[in-house]
Amino acid sequence: MGYLDELKQKSEAIRQEQEQKQSAQEQSKTVLEQLQPCMDTIRTYLTEAVDVLNFVKPDVMLKYLIEGFGSLENLDQGGYAVTEDERDGVVTVTLRFECVSPNSDVRVFNIKEREPFIRQREYMWRNNLQFKDKPTMGGGGTFYLEPRIIVRLEFSPDAQRRKIKLQMRNMIGLGTDTRWIEPEKVNKENLDDVMGLVLRKAPDLEKLSTGQMTEEMRKRIKEELRREQNAHRLQEVQAAAAEAEREKAEAEANLVSKLRLGPLGRRR
């Protein structure tokens, strides 16, 4: 084979590779466009859910087992927020919230040796724990852990699987858990299942997270949330009524005071 023929073969191979790459990119773009309505549904649902959750502030008390520190208990879940990020043309919608114990002290854990110290720090970084560390000359050190766990539920379209990827961080204990949602199952009913998971209403979180949720469980979760909403609204109405009564009493007291002073009490 001559030099020119060899170069032509390489040129053809490069051309075919470029065409395949371009075809794969076009297919990926098409799939992402097809999954976009699913992402819109998720974004709309989560935005509405966050408004309700931050208004109602349902009581969700938790505990997490932290390697080296034991249990962080009496953590109050709240501070819900929805964010949207785009990277390399792929949009991720994230539900973020925190589990905190504001009245608890910082937890302290000492490690004497270097390797266990490094492993502990990597473990805490990996799980996005809120901490500070102070190494010692001997290779070990001390960790100072805040009683705060950050939870993230990240929804993103996956062109290769043609599904919605749900990546849960620190949701069911520490760590990352991944679920795949079929596009046809992205609807309000199934997203209510996710909200049941967030509210920790089901006795078996693992069963709920895999989508094995009964209609009875859904009704119970919705009813409990509705009761909490009504109780919160009642408290606001009662507080507003008490404030109105207080203002009325003050106005009446001022009027009586002016009547008692009469004309002599007026300034000239």
As a whole-number percent, the residues of the chain with pLDDT over 70 amount to: 72
Sign, CA dihedral 64-167-154-48, equals negative
Res. 108 pLDDT band, cuts 50 70 90: very high
Angle made by CA atoms 176, 123, 198, in degrees to the nearest 5: 30
The residues that bridge with 28 in the sheet, in sequence order, are: none
More confident residue, 88 or 125: 125
The whole model's pTM is what?
0.68
Q: How far is it, in rounded angstroms, from Cα 232 to Cα 255?
A: 35
37-46, 109-118, 208-217, 252-261 — which is least confidently predicted? 208-217
More confident residue, 219 or 2: 2
More confident residue, 244 or 223: 244
Angle made by CA atoms 213, 166, 206, in degrees to the nearest 5: 40
